[in-house]
Structure 1
Amino acid sequence: MQEIEVKYRLRDLPALEQSLAERGLVLSAPITQDDQAYARVDWSYGQSKIGVPFARLRTQDGRHLFTVKTPLVNELACLEHESEVADRDQMHQAIIQMGFRPTVRIVKTRRTAQMAGMELCVDEVEHAGLFLEIEKVLDAGESGAVAQERLDAFARSLGVELERTADTYDSLVRAALV
């Protein structure tokens, strides 16, 4: 499946919550996501991510999810495969054995709302700040870039101060820590 997203630094959470409420949306209770990001051993920050597979191991509510994302047209439009795994430590070792190395740990508190096939996520990311991320799974043949333009238009229609970023959370956290 192709998952696309747009991401924004969020400056005024109460204004966003008010705008969502005006559309009949309420953010969910917060959940914590503990993600370990992985890159191939021959890739390093500063190189293009397009066409390069990246792995993630997430723990949320006692469940462990293994994800591989390959950016297609940009870092936020990816071919994605995800599956639950029973043992985080064993999966970590398997990922390393497959030729990946751990890059950064991303810990965030997430609240979500669903609307018209979109998932709106408000994320408080340790070391990086507060973000609004809007995700959508595309139908076969749909353009990621065109879908991102539609998601951006929706985000702008919310009428709150947003600063768009093309960076992924691993890049944002890494930049904050170096």
Structure 2
Amino acid sequence: MIEYELKARVDDLDPIRAALQARGAARDGDRDEHDVYYNHPGRDFAETDEALRVRYADGEVVMTYKGAKMTGTRLKAREELNLAVEDGRVLETVLVRLGFRVTAVVRKRRELWTFDGASIALDRVESLGTFAEVEILGEPGDTSVEERVGDLAESLGITGEPITSSYLELVLGQRES
């Protein structure tokens, strides 16, 4: 499956939260996420547009591989593979011993919602600011999913230019400036 995502920087989460409540969206909770990103020892994920992340949230650990972003879409669309992990510290030790190195750490407070087959995240990202994301899983090249994501974001008041950069890319870009 492909994750189709629209992310935008927002000044105020309250109007989006109110729109979600008015539509009867389900609030799935709030959580702190601590994401550790790794780079491959033999190829630079920045060049191949891939990502390997270990996420700690609510006592759970998930390793995620993200494939290169798909072209020909105004949204961020990419393959995403998730694996629940029992012990993140052991996983991180294995990755380091295999030659992977930590690229960056991203911390955020995330408010999770679901509505009409979509996941909506209202994020406060350390050192970056406030964002809203709408994502729907679909098949590669499914333009109807892209439309649904855009329409839902607009109806919730998530306007402005979609950001196709990941939080990792935004954090790394901040380091360079």
Shorter-chain TM-score category? 0.7 to 0.9
1:61 aligns with 2:58: yes
- The 3-state SS of whatever aligns with 2:162 is strand
Residues 150-169 of structure 1: matches in 2 within 5 Å?
150-169=148-167
Q: Is the 8 A contact 1:37 1:105 kept in 2?
A: yes
Alpha-carbon shift at residue 168 of structure 1 (Å) = 0.2
- Partner SS, residue 127 of structure 1: coil
Offset at 1:43? 1.2
- On the 8 A contact 2:37/2:102 being kept in 1, the answer is yes
- What CA RMSD, in Å, does the superposition of the two structures yield over aligned residues? 2.3
Partner of 2:44: 43
The residue identity in structure 2 corresponding to 1:111 is E
Return the alpha-carbon distance in structure 1 between the equivalents of residues 30 and 38 of structure 2. Answer: 25
Instruction: State the distance in 2 between where 1:173 and 1:146 align.
Output: 31
Deviations 1:34-81 (A, max 9, x none): 000122233164x351xxx42110111111111111124159322222
- Describe how 1:113-152 pairs up with structure 2 within 5 A: 113-138=113-138, 141-143=139-141, 147-152=145-150
TM-score, structure 2 normalization: 0.84
Q: Could you state the TM-score of these two structures normalised by the residue count of structure 1?
A: 0.84
What secondary structure does 1:165 align onto? Answer: coil
Number of residue-to-residue matches in the alignment? 172
Shift of 1:26: 5.6
CA contact (8 A) 1:77 1:145 kept: no
CA displacement 1:5-51 (0-9 Å, x = unmatched): 11110112121122222212364442101000122233164x351xx
* Unaligned stretches of 5+ residues in structure 1: none
Structure 2 residue identity aligned to 1:89:
R
* AA in 2 matched with 1:166: T
Partners of 1:7 and 1:132 within 8 A in 2: yes
Q: Hey, what does 1:31 align to over in structure 2?
A: 31
Q: 1:131-151: per-residue Cα shift (whole Å, max 9, x none)? A: 10112121xx44256523431
Instruction: Go from structure 1 to structure 2 and tell me whether the alpha carbon gap of 1:152 and 1:99 turns closer, same or farther (over 3 Å shift).
Output: farther
